[in-house]
A and B are shown apart, each in its own frame.
Chain A
Amino acid sequence: MTRRTAVLSFAVVLAVGGLDACRKKPEPDPVPAASPATDPNAQRRADSIAAANLATRRRADSIAAADAAAAAAKAGDETKRTSAELAQILAQKVYFDYDKDVLRDDARAVLDAKAPILIANGWVSLSVTGHTDERGTAEYNLALGQRRAAQVKRYLESKGVPENRMSTQSMGDSQPVAQGTDEASYQQNRRAEFEFPANGGALVRPKS
């Protein structure tokens, strides 16, 4: 056994002794402590016990802190998950028929899901951008995109979302998401998109 190993073993023995001391047992009769001045070994033993006690307290504290952090993280994750889920609903696009700004049933359903979230999260402002497919003139498509965005805004307003928390704009046919020249591509491009600044806040569920 090397000298270093011997020292570690000693420390472990002392530590175990210290832990034993923490267990709830009937208190033994006090034994007069040997005076450190007269007994150097007794002083070393006392110091070791104190160090072991300190280490134990620290470990217990850190376990408690870790438990608290885990609990907080769990709660934070839940908040984040909820917020992300609601953000996904807010970001969901709505689609239109060719050359129309009329809200179809599927678009109304999407907007119906957004409205209560917007009402429950009064800090959220929503930007609605209207888009068109490539057919027709650039200028008329810009106007059509604006009409689509305005139609969405009006509908959300009718569902209780304050007008001053929504803005509209149009990109016309300038930002297609699908490049094809078939109806499936055109349908993907005839849409309204939604943006809302995060502002560091978390979205909360509307109270049912």
Chain B
Amino acid sequence: MRHRRALIALLFLSSPLAAQDTTRGVRIGLTYDPGSKPGVIVLPSKGAGTDSIRAIAQRDLDAGDRVGVIVLDAAATSDATRASAPNWAVLAKLGAAAAVQITPTATGFHLAVYNVATRQTALIRDYVAPAMTEMRPWRAALHGLCDDLEESLTGTRGISRTRVLFERGKRIWVVDSDGEQSSPLTEVGTAGSPAWHPSGSMIAYSNLIPSQILVQDLTTGRARTLASGNGVFISPTFTPDGLNVVYGHGVDDGVDIFSIALAGGPGRRLSVGRGTDNVQPTFSADGRHIAFTSGRPGHPEIYTMDADGTNVDLLTPLEFGENAYRASPDWSPDGRSVAFQSRIGGIFQIMTIGLRDRGLKQLTSDGQNEEPSWAPDGRHLVFGSNRGGVKQLWVLDTETGRARQLTRGAAVRNPSWSPRLSSSS
């Protein structure tokens, strides 16, 4: 975020607002230098909770990494509430391509977006939201507004209204994409490896004692066992159509990848590992391919196969030596690359490999970094890192390399980023 001291009162004039565009989700045609991020000022407004609304909006836009949020100091902000319309000249001088104002209403929020270059109101929209006292759904509605806003400003929808599952203390937890509203979803036990259903309304996870795969409805909180028995049942993931769960299972002869219908039934083996470990399946967005970790070369590497288990192929270039260890693949939402963790110089780092050219990119170098999971925008990754001491979740913008800490407190692991969530999820 860019911080500017300014006389906010000058940002508003007493003239009436210009013509209004009420079309949802359109790109509003901002003009700014190619390769740069458009500067955006979130204007203050009047009403209960406006400080919170403004702070959340600024943070959401900033976390999206597609606009440059220009933050004005607190003292000037109070002066600004006395004015009622943008001062285009001052906004332009501050480097803003757009100004945004979110006002609480009796039924939710009122959004206004101003195009500084054209000196026009570019977008007006009203949003229905629960009362502020219902904190989580109220915040979710505001995050949804911010995602709309980011799409209007940049053409790409934001990821504010998403959540991240993770393990902490042998329980499954969930946290909003801005690091708020962290709470456990399961009782204390031996739960791990959480994964989202494509609808965002359900999760799957594994349990050690007893060994099983469970699915849990997030609306009711009820969990049911999908697969169980001797040996291990680990690393579940949903098929992109949401109809099946694919997971690792093995007893005395290695671990292979199995598939089971969400409705129930017998598990069907997909991989033939012949005594090796085959775990952590992740689907291509079209559901036709699976990337997974396999120990078949003698140490973990990333492989791909068709969704029916055929056409197995080594994805990561085979590395020899004691230190070779590639694992935790996650197929990007755009289908172009797979993120994974690779041991480099004895320390795990996050890397990506291109599906077309097999080009490798190392994305991290600070501390130990593991278990990447893509955001639905295909640009951000969440992963576990000990760069701050205790292992926490961090979010990385893969384009700029900018990282922010998502969780705090006791150690966490195994994050899973949700799809974009709707009001019903």
Contacts and interface: CB of A to CB of B under 8 A. Distances in A.
Contacts of B370: 137
Interface in A139-163: 139-140, 142-147, 150, 153-154
B234 A142 contact: yes
Contact of B231 (A99, A137, A138, A146): A146
B254 A139 contact: no
A87 B295 CA distance: 35
A140 B300 contact: yes
B142 to A, nearest CB: 34
Nearest to A168: B252
Nearest to B414: A138
B253 A150 contact: yes
A169 interface: yes
A146 B250 contact: yes
Interface string A114-146: 000000000000000000000011111011111
Given A137-B280, A150-B251, A143 B327 contact: no
B279 A150 contact: no
Nearest to A170: B232
Interface residues of A, number: 23
Contact of B327 (A136, A142, A145, A170): A136
A170 B232 CA distance: 7
Given A99-B299, A137-B341, A138-B193, A143 B253 contact: no
A169 B231 contact: yes
B251 A142 contact: no
B381 to A, nearest CB: 16
Interface string B383-425: 0000000000000000000000000000001100000000000
Contact of B295 (A142, A143, A153, A169): A143
A137 B326 CA distance: 10
A51 interface: no
B328 A146 contact: no
Determine chain B's interface SS by DSSP, over half rule: strand
A84 B209 CA distance: 28
A152 to B, nearest CB: 10
Interface string B280-300: 100000000000010100011
A143 B211 contact: no
A171 B193 CA distance: 13
Interface in B235-292: 235, 248, 250-255, 277-280
B211 A169 contact: yes
Nearest to A167: B230
A138 B232 contact: no
B251 A146 contact: yes
B104 interface: no
Contacts of A153: 252
Interface centre among B209, B277, B413, by most chain A C-beta atoms within 10 angstroms, is B277
B186 interface: no
B294 to A, nearest CB: 10
B327 A169 contact: no
Given A137-B328, A137-B370, A140-B327, A168 B277 contact: no
Contacts of B322: 98
A174 interface: yes
B252 A143 contact: no
B190 A136 contact: no
Contact of B300 (A136, A142, A145): A136
Interface string A169-183: 111101000000000
B230 A168 contact: yes
A158 to B, nearest CB: 13
B110 interface: no
Contacts of B82: none
B192 interface: yes
Contacts of A98: 322
A103 to B, nearest CB: 15
Interface string B355-383: 00000000000000011000000000000
Contact of A139 (B190, B234, B251): B234
Nearest to A173: B413
Interface in B297-318: 299-300
Contact of B208 (A140, A154, A171): A171
Max count, chain A CB within 10 A of own CB: residue among B167, B190, B251: B251
A147 B277 contact: yes
A154 B327 contact: no
A162 to B, nearest CB: 14
Contacts of A145: 232
B196 interface: no
A96 B211 CA distance: 23
A179 to B, nearest CB: 12
B277 A144 contact: yes
Contact of A140 (B211, B230, B251, B279): B279
B173 interface: no
B371 A137 contact: yes
B220 to A, nearest CB: 27
**Interface core residue of B232, B250, B251 (most chain A CB under 10 Å):** B232
Given A143-B250, A146-B255, A147-B277, A136 B232 contact: no
B331 interface: no
Contacts of A144: 277, 295
Given A143-B250, A144-B277, 6 more contacts: A99-B325, A136-B300, A138-B193, A139-B193, A143-B248, A147-B277
19 contacts: A136-B300, A137-B280, A137-B300, A138-B193, A138-B413, A139-B192, A139-B293, A142-B234, A142-B279, A143-B250, A143-B277, A146-B232, A146-B251, A147-B250, A147-B255, A167-B230, A168-B252, A169-B230, A169-B232
| Top 9 A-B residue pairs of the complex, sorted by shortest distance between their CB atoms | A143-B277, A150-B252, A143-B255, A139-B235, A139-B279, A137-B327, A146-B232, A139-B234, A142-B234
